[in-house]
Amino acid sequence: MKKLLIIIDDLYAGGAQRVVSRLANELVEDHEVVILNFSKKKTYPLDNRIRLLFFKDPAYRPSKIPGKAGVFFTAARRFLGLRRQLISIMLKEHPDVVLSMLEYPNLLNAFSGTKGCRKVMSERNDPRGKGRIYYLKEVLSYLKADQVVFQSHTVMEMFPHAIRRKGVVVPNPVRVDCSANGGSERIVTMGRLHPQKNHMLLLKAFALFAKDHPLHTLHIYGRSYDYDEVGYKQLIEQFCLSDKVFLEGYKENVHFLIANAEQFVLSSDYEGTPNALLEAMMMGLPCISTEFESAKELFGNSDACCLTPIGNEKMLAESMARLADDVAYRRALSVRGKRFAETFSVQNVIPQWHKVLFP
């Protein structure tokens, strides 16, 4: 039995967090699994055999150096404090493999090595959407990795050869709690209220769609903070849709809550691999998605999902109308989508992760 240490920001309501919980729950059957994170707030269920450890955030006084230089030195001291904690934990736990996901955990993993420990890091997004600084930090981290897991060849090709040669593409393991049963005029989506998800586009498209479909409602499930919701609520009121659009927040039993939806819509500008979309497809929901780069690679010539151009609210509204008006098309999309998503089922994907982590 080998020991796996997973480093992640938290286990609260996110795509990477969902992947970590599924991966840990499967691997603990044959290995010892320890998860190290920053927050004791947990949403995804974990097997009782999985141990949870937590960083103690160093309470450094703010730097006396003014401006951006002071911010930099404060951040650097915090990083060094967390790095010392991670090295201490690794020396105590003696993991065979350390797997990190997301930007900050990858940096900590990169600069906290101990001998005999395999370093695996995972890119969870499209770096072009995250900006130059994010990309540079990931390059710096991945140069220190033994292996880097990407979600698509499109993203892997964005990195230098030195990183690509130790890269491997492994999809996310997808599991759902129930199957779609239709029967309503609800349009749903899942994703935190963040510019990347471009729920604003979905709201504008729904406003166009609702003119000819007055009985439909839109439900947005995903983590948010009060300050995130202000702009959305203003736009909802501007379009006079307060009785038709609902910001549902994060829900633990979200699959059951969306099971009776008519259609699922993903309006993101970019993604790594769209977990929420694949989950909806696996449930059997007819799905629409914007055609971001990794979606092009994901679907290729497949007709399992209805794709629309990024940022085009008119074409998104037209796609929503087609699904609403054409029952036969909805049923066909449901069947094709469910069949397509099976490729990403836990039983198909976990062996690929196992091969990467324990070669």
For residue range 129-143, list pLDDT tens digits in order: 788 999 999 999 999
Residue 116 has pLDDT above 90, yes or no: no
Residue 317 has pLDDT above 70, yes or no: yes
The tokens describing 249, both together, are 């927040």
Residue 71 has pLDDT above 80, yes or no: no
**In terms of pLDDT, which residue wins out, 177 or 260?**
260
β-pair partners for 119: 98
* H or E element, residue 139: helix 132-142
- pLDDT bracket for residue 227 (50, 70, 90): low
Q: Which domains, ranges and CATH numbers included, belong to the chain?
A: 3-169 (3.40.50.2000), 186-344 (3.40.50.2000)
- Give helix 15-27 / helix 346-357 axis angle, nearest 10°: 80
283-308 exposure pattern, b = at least 16 Cβ within 10 A, e = fewer: bbbbbbbbebbbbebbbeeeebbbbb
pLDDT digits (tens, 9 = 90+) for 11-29: 987 888 989 999 999 999 9
Flag the least confident range among 42-46, 227-231, 332-336. Answer: 227-231
Question: Quick one: pLDDT at residue 70?
Answer: 67
- pLDDT bracket for residue 211 (50, 70, 90): very high
Where would I find the beta strands (DSSP E) of 214-325?
Answer: 217-221, 245-249, 263-266, 287-290, 306-308
The tokens describing 352, both together, are 């690929």
